Amino acid sequence: MIFNRDNARFAVGVIGNIIALILFLSPLTTFVRIWKSKSVEQFSPIPYLATFINCGLWVMYGLPWVTPNSLLVITINGTGLGIEIVYLMLFLLYSDRKQRMKVILIIIVEIIFIVALGFIVLTFVHEPKKRAAIVGSISMVGNIMMYAAPLSVMKLVIKTKSVEYMPFFLSLFSFLNGVSWTTYALIRFDAYILAPNSMGTLLGLAQLLIYAAFYKSTKRQMAAREAKGETVMTEKSAGRVAQNPRSDSRV
């Protein structure tokens, strides 16, 4: 069989779409926890804000008027954009007022930036190669921001020696996503996709190594918390019995 780079690139792109979709869905358990507890606790909105603008920029990059034959770039980033909107809405719903206003302000700035960039590029730049160069260069920055966003969480992990607020599957599929899109960019060379995703591969690997390093200490901390909680409940129960000794007198 004759090797066809276009077919290989399409196949890897489909795999990249699947992995990226899992990446976008991987924080689902985090948001179920937020929804159940009615609080964002110590979870950071930064990864979701970074992914929101990143997806918006890559949708623009994949447009036929910017980079022809990039349908797979549009499909996954368009899907990711919708998912991030849902996440950010939930984050806003359960944040305190100060944090909510900060997140809303960042979202507004990001939307204005994407719309303004699209208007300028499509109106004043007429050559597709120049459009791709402008949007691609800016999209690289957005992609690096998305991959680097968990660095703030990694700092918390190192400080607390706990990975409780760094979702494992987000780290795992961030790494796999970087690997798949790096491969995609190498088959038919695309520096704008290659540069951020190769960096994302390294950052994803770093997250996995940190997760492995602090996994056991996290288990110990959570077990200690649970034991402390049980002790408190036992003491409260004993206190109630002491106050009402007849409550357990029946045989």
0.85 exceeded by the pTM? no
Tens of pLDDT, residue by residue over 192-203, are 889 888 988 998
CA dihedral 19, 129, 59, 92 (to 10 degrees): 110
Task: Give 71's pLDDT tier (boundaries 50, 70, 90).
Answer: confident
Q: Do residues 142 and 57 touch, judged by C-beta distance below 8 A? A: yes
Q: What are the pLDDT digits (tens) for 1-15?
A: 455 777 888 888 888
196 closest CA partner among 211, 181, 207: 181
Identify whether the C-beta of residue 26 lies closer than 8 Å to the C-beta of residue 107: no
pLDDT tens-digit readout, 13-65: 888 889 888 888 888 888 888 898 988 887 888 888 988 998 999 999 989 89
Distance of CA 96 to the CA centre of its chain: 21
Token pair 């730049």 in the structure block, residue: 125
Domain boundaries, the chain: 5-216
Q: How far is CA 190 from CA 12, 103, 148, 186, in A?
A: 14, 33, 21, 7
Q: What is the DSSP letter of 66?
A: T
Q: Are 165 and 153 in contact (CB under 8 A)?
A: yes
